Amino acid sequence: MTSSFDRESAWHLVESNVQATGLRRHMLAVEAAMRWYATRLEEDPDQWGLAGLLHDFDWEIHPTLEDHPARGIPILREAGCPEEVLQAIASHNTAGTGVERQHRMDFALLACDEITGLIIAAALIRPSKDLREVKLKSVKKRWKERSFAAGVDREEVDLATSDFSRVCFNGELELWQHAGNVLAAMQGAAAALELDGRLASPPDPS
């Protein structure tokens, strides 16, 4: 990237604006997925990672779909965030910003966004709280349980994946291939997500 704005700059913004552990975990998860796909698609993993890490940085200060991320974009721009990253972040809520997806990074960000919630939930229900133990089949099984990770809009995930597949994979990326890729990316970042077993309850000494 030509900009001096880097991951350290991005993380400073996250630390300054995001207090909720769950939201930080979500953003780190999307960052991991975006970096994975950037490498696969021969794009810039640092730039794609910034889009993932920062896409929800303003949710706690602008917690409505009308304001997020529209009112956060000027903050990022003033900090020096690259315009390509701003475009991707703005386009992940077209209804609120009016910005349509145009580039491969834009389609990837929306496709990687909500599905991470399903995978995180699948890790957190395990006694071990270890994402590295989660199997794709268990995520797939939970997909049909609408009460599980109820905040994850299945229809939106399906549509975003389909669009991403069309734009970046000639329509050949299926939903569960995508889920498997995101799972693998997140498993590689299990420590950063604090889903490496550290959250498990200690054994009962009795």
Over residues 122-176, the pLDDT tens digits come to 999 999 999 999 999 999 999 999 899 999 999 999 999 999 999 999 999 999 9
Q: What is the pLDDT of residues 169-197, one digit of tens each?
A: 999 999 999 999 999 999 999 999 999 99
pLDDT tens for residues 55-77?
A: 999 999 999 999 999 999 999 99
User: Would you state the pLDDT for residue 3?
Assistant: 61
Residue 204's pLDDT band (boundaries 50, 70, 90)? low
**If pLDDT is split at 50, 70 and 90, which confidence band does 206 have?**
low
Residues 6+ apart with CB under 8 A from 17: 57, 58, 60, 61
80-91: average pLDDT: 98
% of the chain exceeding 90 in pLDDT = 94
Q: pLDDT at position 6, please?
A: 96
Q: Confidence class of residue 4 from pLDDT cuts 50, 70 and 90? A: confident
Q: What is the 3-state secondary structure (H, E, C) of 79-118?
A: HCCCHHHHHHHHHCCHHHHCCCCCCHHHHHHHHHHCHHHH
pLDDT at 48: 98
| CATH code, residues 7-187 | 1.10.3210
Q: Tokens in use for 82? A: 């690259």
- With 0-12 / 13-18 / 19 or more C-beta atoms within 10 angstroms meaning exposed / middle / buried, residue 31 is buried
pLDDT of residue 2: 46
Q: Comparing C-alpha atoms, which of 99, 23, 97 is closest to residue 58?
A: 23
Per-residue model confidence (pLDDT) at position 1: 42
Give the Cα separation of 57 and 63 in Å (integer): 10
Residue 205 pLDDT level (bands cut at 50, 70, 90): low
pTM of the model: 0.95
Q: What is the mean pLDDT of the chain?
A: 95
Rounded to whole angstroms, the Cα distance separating 90 from 97 reads 6
Q: Which residue has the tokens 């990770």?
A: 149
pLDDT at 90: 98
